[in-house]
Structure 1
Amino acid sequence: MSKRFLFTVTALIARCFNIQFASIVMIFLLSASAVSLSSSPVSAETSAKKILFINSFHRGYGWSDEVENGLRETLSASGQPIELSVVYLDTLRHDAVPIKDKLADILALKNVNEAIDLVITSDKPAIEFALTHQNTLFPRQPIIYTALTDSSTETMDNAPRITGISEFTDYLNAIDVALTLHPDADSIAFIGSEREGHNQHMVDVIKDNVLPTLSTKINTEIYLDKPLDELDESLSHLSANTIIFALSNTIPKMDGSLYSPAETARLLASVTPLPVYTFWHSHIGHGPVGGQIVTGFSQGKAAAQLALQVLNQDIDAPLPADQVAPASLFFDLEAVEKHQIDSTMLPEGSRFINYQAPIWQEYKTEALTTLVIVFGLSSMVLAFVLLARRQTETIHQMSDENVELNQALDLNQEALDDVTHQLEEVNIVDELTGLGNTRHFNDMLDKELRRASRYKTPLSLLLISVDQFDAYVNTQGQEDADKQLMAISQIIKDTCQRSSDVLAFLHNAKFAIILPHTTRDNSQVVCQKLHSGLKHKTLPFMLSQTGALTLSIGLSSLESTEDRINPQHMFNTSEMMRLDAERKGGNGTQSEVISLHSSSSTSNGT
């Protein structure tokens, strides 16, 4: 059906019924763009089955695009002649009511009641549209729904010729998997929102079907629509053996709007050191450990398989019963390692992201090349030695052979140096202290400053040095000094236990701590704990005024600004504060707020 023919028809309708032509043009445009009853290549076979896919949203929306991809891939792999057409209701961007009415008129003009063999819908608005117009548009066609969570069961039961794929609802199984991975867990906290319908449904299911079962064997808490600062405060009081579950794909901002799903996952994983699990595919890869996930692709694939079964059975045969959407266990291996979860306990058949092959596999080619070079050079060395023993005629000949041997060894050393340098670039951990190294610190300071600027959250940087450390090395020796650095590193680890804190050991025996979401006042509390922890540890040093090792700490804080702060500027500010603390006798903290109107304050260590 050409656009010119549609335009002619709409013009005649406008003239006959005295309707404004502009409104009819809107119908014409909707038919040209939103309706694609020949979106798949038209089959030359007249026996090709025709399927209409009604999408609740728009092309480019990730969830429904994945449903469509699952449909197309499965139908194409079947080898059967099938034409798949698509219409978009666009309910997320426009008022759905007038679009649905005009779309129904257009489908009626296209005689879909005769041209289509089967209808597939995605999400609630699409199935509601299909049921509303079933008698006029699809009186004989089977309807297969997918991606449904909160439609009325009674409505579906009373509708003839309908079946489909419902959303996954066995949330208790996903929680049992998490409890298996955390055998010491004593409580579960659910974080959610009731701002949107799909999130409200998830909260209702958890309240009605999950919490009553869980409450008999473990403590449970549920937090709904809490701003980030309140949520941070609430989570800080939970037991260290608590598991977090994200019920909603979004949480509210301070201004009442909602974070994106990716932002929500990153924030939940950063405000608490507790492991976070989720039911949302859009959260995976942004901080949560994992979860039992239903993807749009898997639902589209299941709907296509059900459609093929219906198309191949007798037209009068009853439709197959509706099915539960297939779900998969997803895990982020970086988060698994971060929370020290035993990877051997992960269920069989789980799907993983952030899998990193061992270094020897990543650099397999380079390693094999180096081994070949070493073997070849070793063979050359042996040959030269044998040759030198046999040929002693002249010193000049032996000298030439030695020169060649040295050149070969230089080439070998260069190759080994290159491989060693590559391996060092991969490592981000300081070997002595177990903290991050300088390269890791520089990368993380830049990332955290960008994040703090984007979300207008506070950020603090501590630079720490051991007072009179050079004198300690001269009097006690380097080996004893290294032991004291390891002891101080452990104090820092015990003091800063949030998963978002970045701990590093820099050159010249300096330590650095990056504290996201932390103001100067809260950072000074951390500094006081470091001084107290070292005092309690009592690392003796006779040249110190206190008779033990002490720290000088320089603190700079960035507090809730959109301005982009250069990492070097923040580092230099903390370094100046550290030097100021040293000049004032050490064993103290100097701090400054980085802002348009800087202010500084001093706190002495104890």
Structure 2
Amino acid sequence: MSNRLPRIIKTTIARLFSLHVLVLLAGALLTTSAITIGSTNASAETGAKQLLFINSHHRGYGWSDEVESGLRETFESSAVPIELSVVYLDTLRHDALPIKEKLADILALKHVSEATDLVITSDNAALDFALAHQNELFPRQPIIYTALKDFSTNAYDVNTRVTGISEYTDYQQAINVALSLHPKTQSLAFIGSQREPHNQRIIDIIKESVVPVLSSKLDIEIYIDKSIDELDDMLSELPTNTIVFALSNTLPKIDGMLYSPAETARLLASVTPFPVYTFWHSHIGHGAIGGQIVTGFSQGKAAAQLALQVLASDVDAPLPSHQTAPASLFFDLEAAKKHRIDKNLLPEGARFINYQAPIWQEYKTEALTTLVIVFGLLSLVLAFVLLAKRQTETIHQISDENVELTHALDINQETLDDVTHQLEEVNTIDDLTGLANVRHFNDMLDKELRRASRYKTPLSLLLISVDQFDGYIHTHGEEDASEQLVTISQVIKDTCQRSSDVLAFLLDNKYAIILPHTTRDNSKVVCQKLHDGLKQKNLPFILSKTGAITLSIGLSSLESTADRINPQHMLNTSEMMRIDAERKGGNGTRSDVIAIQSPQNTIHKD
């Protein structure tokens, strides 16, 4: 029983491992599905070149995805129809040799040796896989490697069917760029790790080719596989003018694990006040100032261009020699600003992140459009101003002419008024009766009141109306009525013959008599003479109680006073007396005396 239990356990483990391998193989089968790219629809087009891309890693790994993006972009822009198939080795998560062998068997079953025209590999594991199975899978196909991590290519020179893009970088040039930005540098600190083979290779290159050149001028320190705390202590002892270079993309944790590239850059930038330069694209944007960087995308483009060159050449022609990966100077302008590095001092042709373009450059199109619109609006405004100015000048001219015309009209009006006034002064006589007209009466009443006030003399005013004259007009007609008015006027003239007396014919068939220097008693005598004179004329009027035309007279008299009396006041007093006479049956006189007792006027009636 005890012997069977270990056997069962072993059997179970073996079955689980086989199941795991089958799952991985199924994933590999899925990832080897063909993906067509190119400037035309290569899947539907016969004669398309068949390319196999072997990726050391998995879908979603940034570095190798960039390599693939560089391949695709270059092939898409070419005129060659290409069908690209992709295989993922997934070595970062699984490095089991049986998986790779099974994958090789799957590729053999798919007859890639006959269906493939060229093979491209990404990173060292993919190249090793292709070379290990070259004879059975790729006996005649050219193999182009890319992203080879700084390993020497001498081992591949003897293989006539292999060439590619090496990731080897001129580290000395990158260090010289950093030194040019920091001319007062006293020491260099290189920080790296030997946990991964490609990182060890970079350390070896620095020790072999860089340190001997710079050691005579600068103090050089190399820290390998140090923890962040250890690096913090060691870097704090270095001179002020020190530059730090990150040789490895990752650094070890205390528990033996590795920090991610982004974490590595952020930690290095946080533990030291010195500027940090790097050779890794994954460090850019996480605290490192920059450096000479080889990107996966640039290597993918270079490998694709090399593949197109090989496809265009004869089958038996030798392959081009391997090439160095295109490197670019990358800088984080925020990190550079933190260490007071002027952007204008950075090398020409360098690439930047966190670059804030001048607002005029960022919005150049909008600015030009705005300028055109503003210019158009200014032109419209200028045209409007000129038009308004011209209109204003025209308006001013018209206004000046209007002023001149108005002035001429004013002169003419003044002349007309003068003539009218002269005519009015000349024509003071009523046309019908031959007595003074209303205007002359009003002027004379005002003058006589002034004179009476000045000389303290009495003044009397008579207002006379014909009793029931409207009935007379209705009974005898307008013409006969006018004749009777003339007759009454003659009676008035015959009664009041003094040159100082003012005899007037007013509106509404009324008469007025101004008697200067005449008291009320004397004025009553005049009134009675008027009644008697008209009675003698015996002007027939059937509606009258007497059978003839009679008069109603209102009399107001002003006694001697120095106070001024308003003409209208005296006129109103005489009018009230006239109305009172009419109410009492007419053919009579009612009178008032206007006596002045300062400060009020008092009216005495009788």
TM-score of the two chains, using structure 1 as the length reference: 0.56
CA distance in 1, matches of 2:120, 2:269: 37
| Matched letter for residue 333 of structure 1 | L
Change (3 A) 1:311 1:72: same
Contact kept in structure 2, 1:185 and 1:242, CA below 8 Å: yes
Matched, 1:309 2:309: yes
Change (3 A) 1:361 1:141: closer
- 2:26 paired residue among 22, 25, 29: 29
CA distance in 2, matches of 1:323, 1:73: 20
Q: Give the superposition deviation at 1:28.
A: 5.8
Q: Give the superposition deviation at 1:52.
A: 0.5
Change (3 A) 1:297 1:335: same
Match of 2:201 in 1: 201
Matched, 1:72 2:72: yes
Contact kept in structure 1, 2:57 and 2:64, CA below 8 Å: yes
Match of 2:251 in 1: 251
Note the residue ranges of structure 2 that are not aligned, 5 or more in a row: 1-16, 385-394, 397-606
Q: Give the superposition deviation at 1:357.
A: 2.9
CA distance in 2, matches of 1:210, 1:222: 12
CA distance in 2, matches of 1:154, 1:368: 61
C-alpha distance after superposition, 1:79-136 (max 9, x if no partner): 2111111000000011341221011000100111100001000101100001010010
CA distance in 1, matches of 2:309, 2:281: 28
Q: Which aligned pairs between 1:177-576 and structure 2 lie closer than 5 A?
A: 177-358=177-358
Matched, 1:112 2:109: no
How many residues are paired up? 376
Contact kept in structure 2, 1:131 and 1:159, CA below 8 Å: no
CA distance in 2, matches of 1:330, 1:161: 34
Contact kept in structure 1, 2:28 and 2:88, CA below 8 Å: no
Q: Give the superposition deviation at 1:183.
A: 1.1
Q: Aligned residues: percent identity?
A: 68
Match of 1:442 in 2: none
RMSD: 3.5
CA distance in 1, matches of 2:312, 2:362: 49
Match of 2:91 in 1: 91
SS of the counterpart of 2:330? strand
CA distance in 1, matches of 2:150, 2:278: 19
| Matched letter for residue 310 of structure 1 | V
SS of the counterpart of 2:44? coil
Q: Give the superposition deviation at 1:141.
A: 0.5
Contact kept in structure 1, 2:160 and 2:319, CA below 8 Å: no
Contact kept in structure 2, 1:39 and 1:86, CA below 8 Å: no
CA distance in 1, matches of 2:167, 2:262: 21
SS of the counterpart of 2:176? helix
Larger of the two Rg values belongs to structure:
2
C-alpha distance after superposition, 1:9-31 (max 9, x if no partner): xxxxxxxxxxx996895476145
CA distance in 2, matches of 1:24, 1:256: 28
SS of the counterpart of 2:145? strand
CA distance in 2, matches of 1:276, 1:83: 43
C-alpha distance after superposition, 1:49-88 (max 9, x if no partner): 1110000000100000000000011011112111111000
SS of the counterpart of 1:75? helix
C-alpha distance after superposition, 1:270-310 (max 9, x if no partner): 22221111000001111111100000000000000000010
Contact kept in structure 2, 1:90 and 1:96, CA below 8 Å: no
C-alpha distance after superposition, 1:384-422 (max 9, x if no partner): xxxxxx99xxxxxxxxxxxxxxxxxxxxxxxxxxxxxxx
CA distance in 2, matches of 1:65, 1:356: 28
SS of the counterpart of 1:158? coil
SS of the counterpart of 1:211? helix
Matched, 1:102 2:102: yes
Match of 1:513 in 2: none
Q: Give the superposition deviation at 1:151.
A: 4.5
CA distance in 1, matches of 2:149, 2:175: 19
SS of the counterpart of 1:146? strand
Matched, 1:129 2:129: yes
Change (3 A) 1:253 1:178: same
| Matched letter for residue 208 of structure 2 | D
SS of the counterpart of 1:140? coil
CA distance in 1, matches of 2:98, 2:151: 21
Change (3 A) 1:47 1:218: same
CA distance in 1, matches of 2:216, 2:117: 50
CA distance in 1, matches of 2:213, 2:61: 36
CA distance in 1, matches of 2:54, 2:205: 27
Contact kept in structure 1, 2:25 and 2:102, CA below 8 Å: no
CA distance in 2, matches of 1:217, 1:256: 36
Contact kept in structure 1, 2:36 and 2:43, CA below 8 Å: no
Contact kept in structure 1, 2:299 and 2:325, CA below 8 Å: yes
Q: Give the superposition deviation at 1:252.
A: 2.0
Q: Which aligned pairs between 1:166-185 and structure 2 lie closer than 5 A?
A: 166-185=166-185
CA distance in 1, matches of 2:255, 2:168: 32
CA distance in 2, matches of 1:179, 1:163: 34
Moved more, 52-61 or 246-255: 246-255
Contact kept in structure 2, 1:168 and 1:327, CA below 8 Å: no
CA distance in 2, matches of 1:136, 1:171: 39
C-alpha distance after superposition, 1:222-244 (max 9, x if no partner): 11121112211111111111111
| Matched letter for residue 79 of structure 1 | A
Q: Give the superposition deviation at 1:355.
A: 0.9
SS of the counterpart of 1:120? strand
Contact kept in structure 2, 1:27 and 1:102, CA below 8 Å: no
Q: Give the superposition deviation at 1:216.
A: 2.4
Change (3 A) 1:136 1:178: same
| Matched letter for residue 113 of structure 2 | N
SS of the counterpart of 2:157? helix
Match of 2:552 in 1: none
CA distance in 2, matches of 1:91, 1:350: 34
C-alpha distance after superposition, 1:450-477 (max 9, x if no partner): xxxxxxxxxxxxxxxxxxxxxxxxxxxx
Change (3 A) 1:21 1:324: closer
CA distance in 2, matches of 1:287, 1:167: 24
Change (3 A) 1:348 1:51: same
| Matched letter for residue 208 of structure 1 | E
CA distance in 1, matches of 2:245, 2:305: 32
Q: Give the superposition deviation at 1:255.
A: 2.6
Q: Give the superposition deviation at 1:157.
A: 2.5
CA distance in 2, matches of 1:247, 1:305: 29
Match of 1:140 in 2: 140
SS of the counterpart of 1:292? strand
Contact kept in structure 2, 1:149 and 1:166, CA below 8 Å: yes
